[in-house]
Amino acid sequence: MFKELDPLLHSQLRLAVMSLLLSVEEADFVFLKEQTKATSGNLSVQIDKLNIAGYIEVQKTFRGKMPRTVCKITPKGINAFDTYVKNLKTYIK
């Protein structure tokens, strides 16, 4: 009856990051930090976990002398998010 929930997405901050990335083509670290109200360290760790899982792509570049981290959701990430939402609905019916 109840479907298994992806433990990687069952974290408030990682779920928030994925939700934000679904609504934009890409987002930089500063935008994600402002929207989630997360600390830089915590957000960095959670982005790394999503990247390792293949749910997002991360590009690190420089704009002038300033580092810039840009994140983009992957097809695997979209599928995982959709499955998570579908499975979560089995708990609220």
- Mean pLDDT by groups of 10 residues along the chain of 93 residues: 93 97 96 98 98 98 91 98 95 85
- Indicate yes or no: pTM above 0.85: yes
Q: Cβ(28)–Cβ(68) under 8 Å?
A: yes
- Take residue 71 and report the two structure tokens written for it: 């994140």
Say which CATH architecture domain 12-92 belongs to. Orthogonal Bundle (1.10)
Q: What is the pLDDT of residue 63?
A: 85
pLDDT of 1 reads 81
- pLDDT value of residue 52: 98
- Buried/exposed code over 31-57 (b: 16+ C-beta within 10 A; e: otherwise): ebbeebebeeeebeebbeebeebebbe
